[in-house]
Amino acid sequence: MVKGKKDEFESVYKHENLISFRSLMRCQILVLSIVYFQTISVFAQDITVRLLERTNVSTVLFSPTDGKYVLINEKEDTIYVFKSDDAISVAIASERLLVKSAYGLNDIVSSVRMVGVGNSPNFHLRFNADKRDHSYFDRLTISVSDGALKLVNHVSIERYVARVVQSEVGYGADEEYYKIQSIICRTYATRNLVRHVVDGYDLCDHEHCQVYSGLKPATNEVMKATSATSGLVMVDQNNNLILSAFHANCGGQTANSEDVWREARSYLTSVEDTFCTGSRSAVWHKSMPVNEFVTQLGFSTNLAESADWSFKQPNRKKYFTLNADSVETAQMRRLLQLRSTYFDLQVRDGNVEFAGRGYGHGVGLCQQGAMKMAEIGYSYSQILGYYYKGVSLIPTTSLQPEK
């Protein structure tokens, strides 16, 4: 958690020369400015997340695992107090809810809220025929929507961020990298809190927002990293939350945002990155028949194999051109299901041969490059400043409300 009474503006390693261990690479790096404020705990800030949105949930088994829970109906009446070894089932009953427990609860309501108290109240869910326990923190609301159960988790943003980081990164990463991903995820969540406002909640639990899985509880390492960066988000030079884009591997050079998504953003500009080139996903190959290639791209079918098919990208290019035909490399990636837009190609024996680098759209932070930087000793602020140019870190409490 961000603590202290520092009001000073600290510019960290501005334009410092970074020297990679066992490498002669030297690069100029603009690292974030970090602004410290005395803040209140952001654990007090709750968000709402729709759970299992892509699943048609008809039954749920709810069981508290820590903290004391009560069940509240749509009239705000407490209709049940959970016992230590308790669980209740919730099922649809004619557009309403049938709630039952082994201790005598048997009621029909329109909606219910499971509210827990304690330092870190949490619970398990099982749904439909799935026997796995899905673990979540804080509170849960259940109602009926479009003939299925609608589950909405009311959770502190820091606990949400920890769970998203665990889902995105997995296990075994350096603590400094977990800090990086925590700031990225928190920035993204804060920037997109109105994405599902018409649906009655803030965020969903899949890739449309961020993957928030009940099957991967956050480890102590992730919780520690999230706490160390608690409340911090990235903003641009106009104090607006940035689009904190990231991808698996850039192949040695990240992409300009306008070359992939058309809109130029000052902090999403191309940078050279040798940190990721020895990682998994740094290179790839693909082969496909010439006829399939030209058909998929909508090119002229009269192209001869003797045409100049040679295409090289010593630096990332926005367009691939062949005779009178041209297409954006970002569109090629989608149409041909390529791992990245960063590739060379040639024709051999009637096939188009791709020699590619990287994995993903290539914009923003390169995860495998950032992991390597963290591994060899760079701080999270240095790494974020390397990939996101000219941004600052500020606590969410200092964000200005939109007008």
Domain ranges of the chain: 46-157, 283-357
Q: What is the 3-state secondary structure of 155-202?
A: EEHHHHHHHHHHHHHCCCCCHHHHHHHHHHHHHHHHHCCCCCHHHCCC
Q: What is the pTM of this model?
A: 0.86
Rounded to whole angstroms, the Cα distance separating 266 from 71 reads 49
Rounded to whole angstroms, the Cα distance separating 292 from 350 reads 11
For the stretch 166-209, pLDDT in tens is: 999 999 999 999 999 999 999 999 999 999 999 999 999 999 99
DSSP states along 25-38: -EEEE-PPEEE---
The pLDDT of residue 304 is 58
The pLDDT of residue 16 is 35
Whether residue 394 contacts residue 400, with contact meaning beta carbons closer than 8 Å, is answered with: no
The pLDDT of residue 306 is 54
The pLDDT of residue 27 is 36
Question: Poorest-confidence range of 42-51, 156-165, 242-251, 315-324?
Answer: 42-51
Rounded to whole angstroms, the Cα distance separating 225 from 175 reads 6
Please say if the pLDDT value at position 22 is more than 50.
no
Q: How many residues does the chain have?
A: 403
Please say if the pLDDT value at position 84 is more than 50.
yes
Please say if the pLDDT value at position 248 is more than 50.
yes
Note the CATH architecture for domain 46-157: Sandwich (2.60)
